[in-house]
Structure 1
Amino acid sequence: MSNSRKIEYSEVQKHNSKNDCWVIINDQIYDLTNQKKFHPVGESYINIFAGKDATWFFNLNPIHYKSEIRDILKGLKVGNLVRKEGENIPDNKMTIIPLFILIVVALFYYFLFL
């Protein structure tokens, strides 16, 4: 699969499950389906953004700017996002709510059971 392929948002939205997970980061599309299990924080964070734009959240973490991370992403790139005139692609900043809940539950579990 060529990683210079032009892909519309409607196509990305179809890849929205834990078994088929495409994510938009900086208008580039990555297939993170098989990479999620290697993510240090866990699959749940990536699953929240399956079929969506994760740019704002990805860019919050300075570790994502390391060359090793960029090299991994190069190998996972499916293509580039094509924005249609007038198309509204949500930035998904409200996903901070389920992420916050996930963090609270994880901390609760950690301190209560470990």
Structure 2
Amino acid sequence: MLTPTKAHAQTWLVSTDAYIKLGVMDKFGQLGTYSATFIVVDQTSGREYLLTKEVEKGKNGIDVLFPSEPSEPEYFKTEKGEAARAVPGKYAWECRVAGKRVVGGRFELPAVANDVTVVDNRK
């Protein structure tokens, strides 16, 4: 009674997530160690997500993914701690170093969809 039923077709699980890579670099390494604060604003909801990363002397720059996984030690979140999600739409971003905007731009997260084909393996 409690045994699983026999599968009659191949079953697939699938996931697709959209991410945007943002980055900043002190091209000539003049700052040494610095903090880079990335700010992403959802243009539809107005929510603002922040992530601060330390850039060590000699590395000069850093890349981050938006949205980042909330299981990471540091991730994009609101001031209230709400994690950013991959919601399709338009976003604006900037990076601040020592309180000053050093770079910024805009991007659009696409809607994603998956197609799954069921393969019947019965003969």
- For the aligned pair, the TM-score class normalised by the smaller chain equals under 0.3
Whose helix fraction is larger, Structure 1's or Structure 2's?
Answer: 1
Whose strand fraction is larger, Structure 1's or Structure 2's?
Answer: 2
> Normalising by the residue count of structure 1, what TM-score does the alignment of the two structures yield?
0.24
